[in-house]
Chain A
Amino acid sequence: MASKLEAGKTREALGRFTRRQLLELDTCAHCALCTEKCPAYAESKVPNYAPGVRSSKTARLVNKQFGLWARLLGPRPVTAEEVSDLAESAFNCTLCGRCMETCPFGLQTHELWTRVRELVYALGGTLPNVRMLDEMLEENQNPYGLDADMRLDWADYTDLEEVPEKDRAEVAYFVGCTTAFKGANHEVAYSIASILNQLGEDWTLLGEDEWCCGSPLLLAGNEEGAREFAEHNVEALEARGVKTVITGCAGCFRVFKWEYPKLLGRSPRFRIIHAVEYLRDKLASGELKPEPFRGKVAYHDPCELSRLGGVIDAPREVLKYLVGDYIELPEHGMDVRCCGGGGLLQAANNDLRLAIVKRRLGQAAALGAEVLTSACPACKLAFVDGVRASESDIEVLDIMELAARQLGLL
């Protein structure tokens, strides 16, 4: 028998859809024009993962409480089974926002699906692996359950000599958890730090004071947790008088730039830039003079940096200085096909993540790319796993690693 959820809690959770989101749920024509472009659907063919199906199911639940019939005859209960079915749909999604880019009505699905995850979270339907990740974040302030004193291990492993942890600095390098704790990304951190050192910037790290940016909490549906993390990080950065925060992580960048002002109700007193924007400026001003790489290089736009972050041209401008033989991948820029590395899909369904990344790797291989670059540690991890799973010989490098290499720093 279907188990009904507590009425007050259900109503409160369903009542959190904002004006625009309700308008969007009502506007979705369930037309499926976005379906084929959805990487999660394209690789799985599971109807429940299709964005339009998720929209229908969400609208059905909202209407049970706030629809016309609910107003006339009273709200109808929502069952635990309905919530877990919606959770399956909501978490088998990379939150890449490609459905927004395909939807004729421009529904801002990235935010809509994040709200659906919040709904699922509030009603206790979060998938077990995602719940575990949420708990680790609450406990350790990072999604890997590691101690804070391991945040700077990357500097030891890479033999970085100058690792500043200052009380005051002009620039802060926000490393991000996936760069700091995942070995495959340690050289990304090293590359960024080396470039900052090379340019003699007055910069600092937050060290153990750096908490996760909050992105995985938002992706898990825990908005309150994300707010707490945002407050902590902004306080730590503002206390150091930082004017510019640089990050090499597309997820951290997007959350700092576009979510923090919403979470905090104010803009932080510093600007946030992605490392690739910083690099572009330094290359353009002639302060950095790299040796161009000889070989075919392709660039994959991280969804959170491009479509969801607004940075599309900067990496391409950087690559003009770094490589002689640049290849543009199909489905790039605003229309980028996700690599599968986002939206906590690794926790929800790693097989699907690998299927998605293999498709993207195949596109690069078909063009004869020798090096595949990106500008996000989650993309790099996905590609590294994909290369391993498909026994590809493409070299996966973050754009900052490629830059450091061509500058003779790595």
Chain B
Amino acid sequence: MSGLTDILYPFFVEKLPYITIAVFLLGVALRAARWLSAPRDPGKRPVSVFAAVKYVVLDVVLFRKTFKSDKVTWLILFLFHVAAGGILFGHMRGFHLWSAEMFAPLGEWVAEFMVEVLPIYMGWLFIATQVLLLIRRGVLEGRQLLSLPNDYLALVLLLITTILGQGMRIFPPEAIPPETYSVVFIPGLIVLHLEKVPSFHWFFLHVLFTQLFVMYIPFSKLVHIFSGVITSALYGSRRAEYGI
């Protein structure tokens, strides 16, 4: 490792996670404050739990409405979210929420597929669908949509992070100091354990960009990851109230 990375690497892996968590929580608090400082909606709309869950599943998880109106975009969006979910799930293994052994009863090859093969395919799928969505946005820009700068920033940040993560998997590993095998976000609570030594430079940048991305979520359009569930649940309740 060069001198600069000698200093930066431990910072990104050991110190930055605390900052990431703090900035993320601060962003969430600022967003919530922004929403809560606005006037309440007039009238009381009863919340229908059944309808709320139904429309979150149909519209947010399965993209029912997009399926009805544009099958190609639906396929890209759906695969994009499948890949995002898959990659998130894969990372959960690093946080010890699941392990390859859990799949062993289904056969050794299943366990190996889950930790060795599937993540690579998911990575390519994630990159491909992001590129397609970026192209779609570019083509429609100024004609059907008007992006704010942060719409692109969020997408570009995600794409860089994903490419770095994929690079980390496909390029040959290099030696890194053993103490950096764990990335501690909250000691004893949120700790990412690395089983294998990944390709160092890719890992180095992936860790950095992932954290930038996480920090950026509450300040960006990506807030729809959370707020979209709420708006969809409210839409479901509206339909229940209107009896439709």
Residues of chain A whose beta carbon lies under 8 Å from any beta carbon of chain B: 15-24, 26-33, 35-37, 41, 45, 47, 50, 52-53, 56-57, 59-60, 66, 68, 71, 100-108, 258, 261-263, 265, 306-307, 309-310, 312, 334-335
Contacts and interface: CB of A to CB of B under 8 A. Distances in A.
B38 A15 contact: yes
Interface in B153-172: none
B144 A66 contact: no
Given A19-B41, A36-B69, A26 B223 contact: yes
A310 B242 contact: yes
B144 A23 contact: no
Contact of A106 (B38, B68, B144, B235): B235
Top 7 nearest A-B pairs by Cβ distance? A106-B235, A310-B242, A32-B145, A262-B43, A262-B42, A32-B144, A56-B146
Contacts of B230: 23, 27
Contacts of B223: 26-27
Contact of B31 (A26, A50, A310): A26
Contacts of B60: 104-105
Nearest to A47: B143
Main secondary structure of the interface of A (DSSP, over half): helix
B140 interface: yes
B160 to A, nearest CB: 19
Contacts of A27: 223-224, 227-228, 230-231
Main secondary structure of the interface of B (DSSP, over half): helix
Interface in B111-160: 137, 140, 142-148, 151
B67 to A, nearest CB: 10
7 contacts: A16-B39, A23-B231, A27-B224, A35-B144, A53-B144, A102-B69, A106-B234
B147 A30 contact: yes
B43 A22 contact: no
B93 interface: no
A29 B235 CA distance: 17
Contact of B38 (A17, A29, A59, A306): A17
B244 interface: yes
A66 B238 contact: no
